[in-house]
Amino acid sequence: MSEGSKGSSLAFGQVVIGPPGSGKTTYCHGMQEFMGRIGRKVTVVNLDPANEAMPYQCSVDIAELITLPDVMENLKLGPNGGLIYCMEYLEANFDWLQEKLAALRGHYYLFDCPGQVELYTHHDALKNVFAQLAKWNFRLAAVHLVDSHYCTDPGKFISVLCTSLSTMLHVELPHVNILSKMDLIEQYGKLAFNLDYYTEVLDLSYLVDHLASDPFFRNYRRLNEKLVEVIEDYSLVSFVPLNVQDKESMRQVMQAVDKANGYSFGDQEHRSLEALMSAAVGADFHFTSTLAVQEKYVQSQDKAVAEEVMDL
């Protein structure tokens, strides 16, 4: 697999990124099983040196090259500094990664990445790794997972939007933002707006007004307005809701990612014209996937209210 070899076949995959606890490893496990059931040859590459308990079958593990505990012990670094060192070490050892991936040609790749936000917002090591993979004819999409509980807190949701936008601009890959753990969202509290407001990132002035009702955020209204202006000026951030336990939700996310990295338009699987067109139509897909989750959420809210009334 020589660098820049145009004659070699394309390889498709996802780099799964996001903050700690957003469900990256769970997503890789669920997507590996889901794609395996539909006949796609999937391999998971663990690029997280702090990932010790992996539920999925891992074909390539960065622990064979370097581990976070060893770095922290030998170089006397903390977890954040240790992760940055590990990614810089991986960048300096491209030949190791190239050799491992060369033995897995013909697979669809899921790259399970570390959870340190700085690696995706301003540090260049992982960005350079992704760029090197592109030179090896990998067609990748970044799958950025965000815990859906941030939707219940307007202040946190604005920070998530800023982080997602910064990540999209820095990583420089086709990007799919995911609201993960949608099956748990009713446990986080009632949403201020309908779910599609958060997934499609609609008029954020309503969010600023909602924040102004909080005495703490009232003093920062001007700052929030400027942050919202930046997000809306770029008009890049939107989300796809995900429940890993729901097959239909997994299928919809897979379609969005396949569209982003170009897999939908290849010849790796037999596809009908209908399937191809469904991947090409983005707006309808997002509306349908969000509507399905919204219905479940509203039903759970109605059930909770009914139970409270019965208790009274």
Q: Residue 297: is its pLDDT beyond 70? A: no
Total domain count, the chain: 1
Question: For 7-48, how does the pLDDT look when each residue is reduced to its tens digit (9 = 90+)?
Answer: 458 899 999 999 988 999 999 999 999 999 999 999 999 999
Q: What is the mean pLDDT of residues 51-68?
A: 91
Q: Does some domain include residue 188?
A: yes
What secondary structure, in 3-state letters, does 111-155 show?
A: EECCCCCHHHHCCCHHHHHHHHHHHCCEEEEEEEEEEHHHHHCHH
**Mean of pLDDT over the chain:** 85
210 is a domain residue = no
Greater confidence (125 vs 207) lies with 125
- Residue 128 exposed, middle or buried by CB count within 10 Å (0-12, 13-18, 19+): middle
What is the CATH number for 64?
3.40.50.300
311: confidence class by pLDDT, cuts 50, 70, 90: low
Does any domain span residue 5?
A: no
In a domain, 223, yes or no: no
Q: What is the pLDDT of residues 197-237, one digit of tens each?
A: 888 888 898 888 888 888 888 888 899 899 999 999 998 99
Contact 293, 249 (CB under 8 A): yes
At 25 the pLDDT is 93
On the question of pLDDT at 170 being above 80, the answer is yes
Question: Is 6 contained in some domain?
Answer: no
Average confidence (pLDDT) over 285-309:
54
Please count the other Cβ atoms lying within 10 Å of the Cβ belonging to residue 125: 17
Dig out the tokens for 213 from the structure.
């009702």
| Range(s) of the domain holding residue 157 | 11-201+237-310
pLDDT digits (tens, 9 = 90+) for 86-104: 999 999 999 999 999 999 9
Is residue 222 a part of any domain in this protein? no
Q: How many CA atoms lie within 13 A of 152 on its CB side?
A: 12
Which of the pair, 6 or 93, is modelled with greater confidence?
93
Sheet bearing 108-112, strands edge to edge:
58-61, 42-46, 108-112, 11-17, 138-147, 175-180, 240-241
pLDDT digits (tens, 9 = 90+) for 133-152: 999 999 999 999 999 888 88
- What global pTM score does this model have? 0.83
Dihedral angle sign, alpha carbons of residues 56, 61, 64, 65: negative
pLDDT at position 269 is 52
pLDDT of residue 2: 47
pLDDT reported for residue 154: 87
Q: How far apart are CA 299 and CA 4, in angstroms?
A: 53
pLDDT of residue 21: 87
At residue 176, the pLDDT reads: 96
- In this structure, is residue 175 part of a structural domain? yes
**Residue 117: its pLDDT value, please?**
92
DSSP 214-243: SHHHHTTHHHHHHHHHHHHHHT----EE--
Q: Is residue 21 part of a domain?
A: yes
Confidence of residue 192 (pLDDT cuts 50, 70, 90): confident
